[in-house]
Structure 1
Amino acid sequence: MHNQTFMRTYSPRQEALARKAAQQRDNQSFENLASSDLLTQYRIKSEPYYRMVADEIELYEAAYSVRMPIMLKGPTGCGKTRFVEYMAWKLNKPLITVACNEDMTASDLIGRYLLDASGTRWQDGPLAVAARYGAICYLDEVVEARQDTIVAIHTLTDARRMLPLEKKGEVIEAHPDFQLVISYNPGYQSLMKDLKQSTKQRFGALDFDYPEHDIEAEIVAHESGINLDIAKKLVHIAERARNLKGHGLDEGLSTRMLIYAGSLIYKGVQPLAACRVALVRPITDDPDMRDALDSAVTTYF
């Protein structure tokens, strides 16, 4: 028998494919590490205090399980933002919050090219970061944003779940953990500042309002450090002020304002002075309305 000599055949294509596969693995590892580092700053480090009022926690968890976009509707200072922070902590997901305003453009939300010493580079906006790496993106007071900016979220809030970066020529397929949450105050709605039906119908909605008396007093006492009796007096004042909404006041006293007043009282400020600073003076400049609110304060303090 003749000995057969086997020779390895050099294949540039196979070598190139192997190098490409190795590079892809390295790039994926680097991207995972980079995304982990990037999202660390957006994680809620400790449990935010949130007092459940109804079934909002259960409903939100169900919505997140199917990645349904959620709209939170309610008056200023009633706990919408705290609720989102609590749910992000409970679900162990990073939370990227954007305070919307009328000057915010789609580029502010999605991203833009920046010029630095090395030339031009692309910088993802907060919405793109959330969609790319899997965070909850919270657009606070979304109706304050321009309509052309709001339209930019449409492709992320339907079955497509993608975000086109037209300036970059890239399409981001939303990460499986990504969810979009928006909030606004229906009390400030006008024909010029409202969400279009084409936007509203892409979201599930949760209604928020000021809690009932005992629950609100519990929240104020916990957050400010004052005792429950004083907290209940502050809530009584707020309830009287809220009855004046539409009759001289554009908005009632919020739970947030009560916590501010309670915090001042906890620090030793006299209750009358604390209420003037934190409740009465910020909400109105009308002398008669201030007198009416001052009278409500003196009734309980």
Structure 2
Amino acid sequence: MDTLIKKSSTNTENTMTSLTGDIPFYKPLGKEEEVFKHAYGCRIPVLLKGPTGTGKTRFVGYVAHKLNRPLITISCHEETSSTDLIGRFIIKGAETIWMDGPLTKAVKIGAILYLDEIAEARPDVIVAIHSLTDHRKELYLDKLGETIKAHKDFMLVASFNPGYQKGFKELKPSTRQRFVALSFNYPSPKDEAEILVNETQLEMSVAKKLVGIANRIRNLTELGLTETVSTRLLVDAAKLIHSGLPKRLAVRVAVVEPLTDDLEITESLADLCDLMI
């Protein structure tokens, strides 16, 4: 029997965000929403730069909801290849079926595609998206010998942590200059405390103490921590405290322990947090 070749869309339920329900909470800290909307209107890709846990992913979900566009998120890592994004042939029974990858699907339906930590992906991923980040706005499917013009509502967004493994995994200038870039950083103490209260319904007085702890640790640059206290870690601690876990224990397991495996530094940070909470 001759092998049949059919096209079929891949299942992207794990990466596509539904826009039903309430809009995700996000507190604008500058002009990032205004810039993003203008970039979307001009179909210019956007690069979000900043440390881990500063709200980059939440921001993308927030603006996708505001723009009423489906959001497909890809968490990039060292094994992420262009085939994973574009698609592949699979054998299904007696048929060879083409499965669209999340990038191809986003291009076809006009979704916002978010490449989280794009610097972690393999170089062939960067090559694959280049034609979508300039005037061409098209995607070449080499295995099919086809070129797809991007839907008019398609938008490419990527995130990048400049401080992570600096000098080892960097974005090339030829890639960076294809994006409008927005910098994210930790909120001011007042804004960060408000975020904790909105996210967890924690008492403002306790939220302020958590923010104080975070800022104290962030200033301890001599510890040589790879990453410092993110707003995400504070939200986790706030949730645990609000659920009834003792404050000191919540801060230790949600803030201190994730930062380092060095026992001496862990104990020093735990003592500091115990005094401040």
User: Do both proteins adopt the same fold according to a TM-score greater than 0.5, normalized to the shorter chain?
Assistant: yes
Comparing both chains, which one has the higher relative contact order based on Cα–Cα distances under 8 Å and sequence gaps of 6 or more? 2
**Structure 2, gaps ≥5 residues long:** 1-8
Query: For residues 6-21 of structure 1, what are the structure 2 equivalents within 5 Å?
Result: none
Pick one of 261, 283, 290 that aligns with 2:259. Answer: 283
- The Cα of 1:189 is off from its aligned counterpart by 4.1
Query: For residues 17-56 of structure 1, what are the structure 2 equivalents within 5 Å?
Result: 42-45=17-20, 46-56=22-32
Residue identity in the other structure for 1:81: T
**Structure 1, gaps ≥5 residues long:** 1-33
- Contact 1:43-1:93 at 8 Å conserved across structures: no
- Is it true that 1:76 corresponds to 2:49 in the alignment? no
- Contact 1:216-1:255 at 8 Å conserved across structures: yes
Q: 1:245 to 1:121 in 2, by over 3 A?
A: farther
CA distance in 2, matches of 1:48, 1:105: 30
- Is it true that 1:244 corresponds to 2:196 in the alignment? no
Number of residue pairs matched?
267
- Is it true that 1:225 corresponds to 2:201 in the alignment? yes
CA RMSD of aligned residues (A): 2.0
CA distance in 1, matches of 2:17, 2:197: 28
Percent identity between matched residues is 50
CA distance in 2, matches of 1:198, 1:246: 34
Cα distance per residue 1:221-252 (max 9 Å; x no partner): 11122111100100000001111245331111
- Contact 2:223-2:265 at 8 Å conserved across structures: no
Residue identity in the other structure for 1:201: Q
CA distance in 2, matches of 1:214, 1:202: 35
Q: 1:121 to 1:209 in 2, by over 3 A?
A: same
- Contact 1:244-1:252 at 8 Å conserved across structures: no
* Larger strand share, 1 or 2: 2
The two structures have a TM-score, normalised by structure 2, of 0.92
- Is it true that 1:93 corresponds to 2:69 in the alignment? yes
Cα distance per residue 1:133-177 (max 9 Å; x no partner): 100000001111011222110000000000000101111100000
Q: 1:296 to 1:245 in 2, by over 3 A?
A: same
* Larger helix share, 1 or 2: 1
Pick one of 178, 190, 194 that aligns with 1:202. Answer: 178
SS in 1 for 2:244: coil
Pick one of 136, 147, 153 that aligns with 2:123. Answer: 147
Residue identity in the other structure for 1:298: D
The two structures have a TM-score, normalised by structure 1, of 0.85
Q: Which segment is superposed worse, 285-294 or 94-103?
A: 285-294
